[in-house]
Structure 1
Amino acid sequence: MTQSPQALCHALIDAAKRAGADAVDTMVATGSSLSIEVREGKLEQAERSEGIDLGLRVFVGQRQAQVSSSDSRAETLTTMAERAVAMAREAPEDPHVGLASADQLAQDWDIDALELYDPSPEPAPQTLQEDALQAEAACAAIPGISQVQGAAAGYGQQSFHLATSNGFSGGYQRSGRSLSCTGIAGTGAGMERDHDGDSRTFQADLRSAADIGRTAGERAVARLDARRPKTGSYPVLFDERVSSSLIGHLLAAANGAAIARGSSWLQGALGEQILPKGLSLIEDPHRPRISGSRPFDGEGLPTQRRAIIDQGLLTGWTLDLASARKLGLQSTGNAARGVGSVPAPANWNVTLTQGEQSRDDLIAAMGTGLLVTSLIGSTINPNTGDYSRGASGYWVENGLIAYPVNECTIAGNLRDMLARILSANDARPHLSRVVPSLLVEGMTLAGS
């Protein structure tokens, strides 16, 4: 690649305008990644990739088309532009598509304050392998571990640039470092597995390999001799490892695209009580060193801190330009996009209000019920909010963990479940979704 992502974006805009486009936006992403996997003390797989991806969206009147390529040669840019314009001319008209107006575009931002890129050198393959081996050894050392399925370490860095034909041009870099391990306890039909891992923007923030491997091993051993729980109606405590999935269902229902389609169980619920009073769900795309942070969205609009739920009340939808226009509203700066896809609404970093009690306090308070640490599959009705998922975890009796359980199903209705959640105080602050363990009273449990 001889041109920068910024130069390529503007070259694509020029080519599209020459081809007959009325308006254009472009995105160029470059990056590299390195991943190492080990098994039984030996290197299992090493993979490195480097690449560039170019995306071009053109508008001809109220018709749009999107094309992408991984070839940055000048003749390819011309071909992309010509094909995109030809496609747009054949596309159906959509009164809601189009670029942002100039006064909506982000004007300035402090990318350094977000700390999205670790300037330290890329780790050598040997360093990643040593970390993975250390995690594997720590897992294997836990009594009861029969084998370590594998351990992996990785590093990646990306550069993004977005430009539009009406004046927006901006970009930034990201980096990421990860480490994971999966342990297996028992043998045959009694085999159980569990894992642990960490992913951070800065290498210095990553948990130690020994801690990750040890935790993976301890979790796997704790699942041995699992039983099926009793069928009935019981309180269910969603462990912090899986509780963010409940909030994910809420975010999906508050997505402007779902609202515009009329396919959301939150349809018509604006301003209503969704969570218990005292709980708020705050979106903040400006948290430093967090994967969901960004200075502007996929349409060049400034991102903003906002309360999706304020003291239990639903305050608004998550909107990009198209969904906002369909609903007669303003974009919330939540357009997400890939190089090869048109924008769609998505959430950035969200934080749910934490409670005053620990997870252990909630276990003690629930009496008899289920602590869920893993969820399998899902059946979620987007229109009604009816919820059913396979689950495993631990049975609680008299406020104490009694034994591991698996092969059960938990069911309820999301609107009812969320209205009566009780939050613990154990959320991990470095995640993009900061959600503590959540206790839901009276769910239907199907077991033995």
Structure 2
Amino acid sequence: MTQLAHPQDRSPQELDRLAELAEDVIRRARAAGASQAEVAANIDVGLSVNVRLGEVETVEHTRDRGFGLTVYFGQRKGSASTADLNPDSIQATLDQACAIARYTEEDPAAGLADASRMAHAFPELDLWHPWDVDTPEAIALGIEIEAAGRAHAGITNSDGASVQMGQSLSVYANSHGFVGRERGTRHSLSVALIAGTDDGMQRDYWYDTQRSAKHFASAQSLGDMAAERTLARLNAQRLSTRQCPVLFAPEVARGLIGHLIAAISGGSLYRRASFLLDHAGKQVMPSWMTIVERPHLRGGHGSAAFDAEGVTTVDSSLIENGVLQRYVLGSYSARKLGLSSTGNAGGIHNLIVQPGHAGGAGDDFAGMLKRLGTGLLVTEVMGQGVSTVTGDYSRGASGFWVENGQIVYPVEEITIAANLRDMYANIVAVGNDVDPRSHLLTGSILLERMTIAGE
């Protein structure tokens, strides 16, 4: 697999050019009467190749540019953006933002993040690993991955394999004098396979995503894993309606953590649209559970020295001994709530759910199955049946029925339901089988009980 940095990496010069443009536009905004201004500019480059049944389906090269400007006239805000960085387009964007700001209503919470919160240190986070893969190499790799999966007996068709290369340069600058430069790469491989025929067909997939292509799983192992997952779903059954323990596989478990973040994020809170409103300092998970944010992990999928407003990011606890320590806030939502920014404008940074249970350290996946005993292993969820307002959770699911810690048969066409408040409070264990392919880092999560709606 080719893994070479571009021989002439021009990203520093490109970042300097974006920074100079951003600073110039901020000066011009101030000259036009804006009391504050901020700019976010980016250049994204990518290659995406899709193959199916050994043939090329699509090849897409991308080079996208974005330039967004926000100006404040006192506490009146105007925003405009363009994908064209030529001077006339930039001037038109500036004129539009200023015009909008002059006619909007004042908002007491509007404005830049506090100047004292701007980042001053920019550690090397190991996020930049250009992959110098050309189109023929990407096609060959996609065909190799798909062929590895299709070679398994019982695989009858394919939904194709994908190879994607991506690199992003971005600059955020504001009238506090802050200029932050970021560059990052993200590459991915995936394959989806089909087993069985007619009404007995099943589909599943596997993928890998990395900052550096040299860390990819092998083409063979990706194809093997996709095939094994697909074949394991054959002859799936439905369950009768019941209540039982439920184990969420790691790649599904991070969705549970995503719902937690949504419920404690500023937008949900100041709109009073969260079941965890006014829960800071309260017990929301078992006393053995801890969740921490680590923004400066080298190579992390969510690593950043500053947030989308230039506020410095810091290590902090989100859940400690089961108690919610803080919310997830940018400066606007913080002001609406009478609080301070947590450095999370734009989202969370590398959230780590620490493995464990009431008796001690976390188990591997086999150990989590034993801890489940008899119940449902969920490997896929479908639908949007989650309410941040009430905490009600009801989603279609598939997976496996487990007895005495052993997988017995695949399960499909069921619905799992509970309330997130109860689900979080009754977590039995978190595994050490962490899925590293996300900025939400968790192992499998075992819940004491959910309602299974089936036949």
For 1:105, the equivalent position in structure 2 comes to 118
Amino acid of the residue matched to residue 154 of structure 2?
G
The answer (yes or no) to whether the contact 1:242–1:375 under 8 Å persists in 2 is yes
Structure 1, unmatched stretches of 5+, are: 337-345
435, 439, 444: which is aligned to 2:442? Answer: 435
User: Cα RMSD between the aligned structures?
Assistant: 1.5
402, 406, 410: which is aligned to 2:412? Answer: 406
For 2:48, the equivalent position in structure 1 comes to 35
The answer to whether residue 251 in structure 2 is matched with residue 241 in structure 1 is yes
For residues 305-324 of structure 1, the aligned pairs below 5 Å read: 305-324=315-334
For each residue in 1:41-89, what CA deviation from the matched residue of structure 2 results, as whole angstroms up to 9, or x when unmatched?
1111110011211000010111111111011121222211111111111
The answer to whether residue 294 in structure 2 is matched with residue 288 in structure 1 is no
Q: TM-score, normalised by structure 1?
A: 0.94
Task: Work out the percentage of aligned pairs sharing the same amino acid.
Answer: 39
Question: Matched residue of 1:443: which SS?
Answer: strand
Question: Matched residue of 1:378: which SS?
Answer: coil
218, 225, 231: which is aligned to 2:228? Answer: 218
The answer to whether residue 175 in structure 2 is matched with residue 165 in structure 1 is yes
Question: Matched residue of 1:335: which SS?
Answer: coil
For residues 355-366 of structure 1, the aligned pairs below 5 Å read: 355=356, 356-366=362-372
The answer (yes or no) to whether the contact 1:379–1:389 under 8 Å persists in 2 is yes
For 1:64, the equivalent position in structure 2 comes to 77
The answer (yes or no) to whether the contact 2:188–2:208 under 8 Å persists in 1 is yes
Cα offset, 1:430, TM superposition:
5.5
The answer to whether residue 446 in structure 2 is matched with residue 445 in structure 1 is no
For 1:117, the equivalent position in structure 2 comes to 128
19, 27, 45: which is aligned to 2:32? Answer: 19
Q: Distance in 2 between matches of 1:254 and 1:34?
A: 36
Amino acid of the residue matched to residue 190 of structure 1?
G
Aligned length in residues:
436
The answer to whether residue 23 in structure 2 is matched with residue 10 in structure 1 is yes
The answer (yes or no) to whether the contact 1:19–1:81 under 8 Å persists in 2 is no
Q: Distance in 2 between matches of 1:274 and 1:192?
A: 38
Q: Distance in 2 between matches of 1:150 and 1:78?
A: 45
Cα offset, 1:100, TM superposition:
2.3
Structure 2, unmatched stretches of 5+, are: 1-12, 357-361
For 1:348, the equivalent position in structure 2 comes to 349
Q: Distance in 2 between matches of 1:429 and 1:32?
A: 24
Question: Matched residue of 2:384: which SS?
Answer: strand
For residues 261-340 of structure 1, the aligned pairs below 5 Å read: 261-336=271-346
Cα offset, 1:429, TM superposition:
4.0
The answer (yes or no) to whether the contact 1:15–1:78 under 8 Å persists in 2 is no
The answer (yes or no) to whether the contact 1:55–1:66 under 8 Å persists in 2 is yes
Q: Distance in 1 between matches of 2:100 and 2:147?
A: 55
For 2:158, the equivalent position in structure 1 comes to 148
Cα offset, 1:15, TM superposition:
2.8
The answer to whether residue 97 in structure 2 is matched with residue 84 in structure 1 is yes
Question: Matched residue of 1:379: which SS?
Answer: coil
402, 406, 430: which is aligned to 1:423? Answer: 430
For each residue in 1:3-61, what CA deviation from the matched residue of structure 2 results, as whole angstroms up to 9, or x when unmatched?
81111111221232233222100011012100111111111111001121100001011
Q: TM-score, normalised by structure 2?
A: 0.93
The answer (yes or no) to whether the contact 2:282–2:324 under 8 Å persists in 1 is yes
Question: Matched residue of 2:252: which SS?
Answer: coil
Q: Distance in 1 between matches of 2:261 and 2:204?
A: 27
The answer (yes or no) to whether the contact 1:394–1:403 under 8 Å persists in 2 is yes
For 1:341, the equivalent position in structure 2 comes to none
The answer (yes or no) to whether the contact 2:330–2:343 under 8 Å persists in 1 is yes
Question: Matched residue of 2:81: which SS?
Answer: strand
Amino acid of the residue matched to residue 402 of structure 1?
V
The answer to whether residue 59 in structure 2 is matched with residue 46 in structure 1 is yes
Q: Distance in 1 between matches of 2:50 and 2:68?
A: 32
For 1:339, the equivalent position in structure 2 comes to none
